[in-house]
Structure 1
Amino acid sequence: MGGKLRVIGFDADDTLWHNERFFRLSQDRFAELLSDYAAPEHLDERLLAAERRNIGHYGFGIKGFVLSMIETAIDVTEERVPARVIAELIGIGQDMLAHPIELLPHAQEAVTALAAEHHLVLITKGDLLDQERKLAQSGLGELFDGVEIVSQKTPATYARIFGAHPGGAGAAMMVGNSVKSDILPALAAGAFAVHVPHDLTWDLEHADTPDGHPRFHCMTDLGALPALVASLK
């Protein structure tokens, strides 16, 4: 394992496989179930506010999303939400937790190519059991040398993970779809960062790209990643 880059971190959801679109479909169903009580745009605002409040309690992932939907349903109906609606919201969460994994374009090829010469680490937020399930079903699990499921992605998080390897963050790269979680804190830790935008991004993950930063790169999909990594050697 030589060259300038020794460690490459990958985000999981909406970087390696689809995720946010299932949340959007579930949110549309949530709006349908509560259409007699509030307009969709009002529900979206209330649900987002609940998710923001609850991150510290439930963390990231489907379970926290379902609890936030239930809380919002109770709130907007002034505690009159029918039990059948609560039951359906729980069912929505169970369906999301069982949904098959669909890899994003070039994910398999890029990870396979880079695993041959680099130490790969999956660095993701979310529920432990759900993320482990998705990684196992993705077929990519054996290509990763380590898995870090974290509550937050901060500069300290990346410094700790990358610091466990020779060269530290200076010889590491983070690849992900979220500027807020995958790019800015990784750059602050001293790593390279590659933004691979996804068509759908959770509102709480929006941030401006650090255009002009010498260690920042952006690409439309993972197909160009092996060539970029090779160019940095």
Structure 2
Amino acid sequence: MPVPRAAKTQRRTRIQEEKEQIILEAALDVFSLHGFKGSTIDQIAEVAGMSKPNLLYYFRTKEAIHRALLDQVLDTWLDPLRELDAEGDPVAEIRSYVRRKLEMSRDYPRESRLFANEVLRGAPSIQEELADLKALVDEKAQVIRAWIKAGKIARCDPYHLIFSIWATTQHYADFDAQVRAVLGPDKSGEGRFEDAARFLEQFYIGGLQLR
């Protein structure tokens, strides 16, 4: 993770750490709304409620702020997949994975859009992390293949199963405005996530159960 500029000059104080978090929180708002290219240091400083020179004391560039945010997101984004347990019941494990991914879309929509925007621009800042992601997905694909071989779930392509779970759960964060507009005022409240969870459980578990 890039070290904030303040940390290079002296030991950080509690106030400095708090300032850095204020900057990162403001930057998350700006980047998730405008994307990397559409965001500026001035916008981040305005949302953070500080001057541009003051902000640049903590982070030298827009790239440094962006990278720090990505590191924070990636640190937690893959936790649900890491927790897919080879020794667990396949149906329960996949149901839990779908639920946790949907909960992350509910609780961390800005982080989801930050990551999506990075991938859409070719993922220039996270190439090494994508290699780590591939290794993790390869590992969990082997788990799913073992379940299939043992006759515990129906045959499927493990990679496309994982991709489809990402797509259907993260949709509720990345396209939230569209989801709420289409559902209308009666169905677009917080209950939409539970409605989605029930449908997705039925969709995936029904498709993976042996006939």
TM-score range, shorter chain: 0.3 to 0.5
- Which of the two has greater strand per residue? 1
TM-score (normalizing by structure 1): 0.34
Q: Which has the higher contact order (CA 8 A, sep 6+)?
A: 1
- Which of the two has greater helix per residue? 2
Which entry has the higher C-alpha Rg, 1 or 2?
2
